[in-house]
Amino acid sequence: MLLLTGTVPMKDLPLQQGVVHFDDRFAIGNGFSVPASELMHCTTAMVAAAAVACRTLGIEAPYAVVAGCLGEGNGSRLLYRFLAEQAEALHPKVLSLHYLLPIRLAAEKFIQSFQQWQNKPILIADAGGMYVMKAAGLAREFDLFTPDPGEMAFLADPDAIHPAYVRHFISKVDMTEVPRLIKEAYQHRNASRVLLVTYPKSNSG
**pLDDT tens per residue, range 157-167:** 888 766 655 55
Query: Is the same domain home to 67 and 155?
Result: no
Flag residues of the chain having pLDDT under 50: 169-171, 203-205
Whole-Å CA distances, 145 to 83, 142, 177: 18, 7, 18
Query: Is the same domain home to 132 and 102?
Result: yes
Q: Which residues 6+ apart lie within 8 Å of 112 measured at CB? A: 84
pLDDT score recorded for residue 72: 87
Query: Is the same domain home to 142 and 153?
Result: no
Helix and strand numbers, DSSP H then E, in the chain? 6, 9
* Beta-bridge mates of residue 3: 63, 95
Query: Is the same domain home to 104 and 183?
Result: no
Query: Is the same domain home to 74 and 98?
Result: yes
Total tally of structural domains belonging to the chain: 2
Please state the pTM of the whole predicted model. 0.89
- Look at residues 118, 146, 174 and tell me which one is the last residue of a structural domain: 146
56/87 Cα distance (integer angstroms): 26
Q: Output the DSSP codes for 126-139.
A: -HHHHHHHHHTT-G
Domain with 80 in it: 2-146
- Look at residues 130, 146, 162 and tell me which one is the last residue of a structural domain: 146
Alpha helix stretches (DSSP H) within the chain: 43-57, 74-85, 104-114, 127-135, 149-156, 178-187
Whole-Å CA distances, 40 to 2, 53, 198: 21, 18, 21
Residues in the chain, overall count: 205
pLDDT score recorded for residue 4: 97
Query: Is the same domain home to 93 and 118?
Result: yes
Q: Which residues 6+ apart lie within 8 Å of 188 measured at CB? A: 156, 158
145/158 Cα distance (integer angstroms): 16
Query: Is the same domain home to 141 and 153?
Result: no
pLDDT score recorded for residue 47: 92
Query: Is the same domain home to 10 and 105?
Result: yes
pLDDT score recorded for residue 172: 58
Query: Is the same domain home to 127 and 155?
Result: no
Query: Is the same domain home to 155 and 79?
Result: no
- Look at residues 146, 164, 197 and tell me which one is the last residue of a structural domain: 146
Closest CA to 95 of 111, 78, 106: 111
Report the interhelical angle of 149-156 vs 178-187 (nearest 10°): 30
| Nearest 10 degrees: Cα torsion 31, 34, 40, 45 | 70
Query: Is the same domain home to 168 and 81?
Result: no
Query: Is the same domain home to 76 and 100?
Result: yes
Maximum distance among all Cα pairs of the chain, rounded to whole angstroms: 48
DSSP secondary structure code for residue 201 in this structure? P
Closest CA to 155 of 118, 124, 187, 123: 187
pLDDT score recorded for residue 137: 92
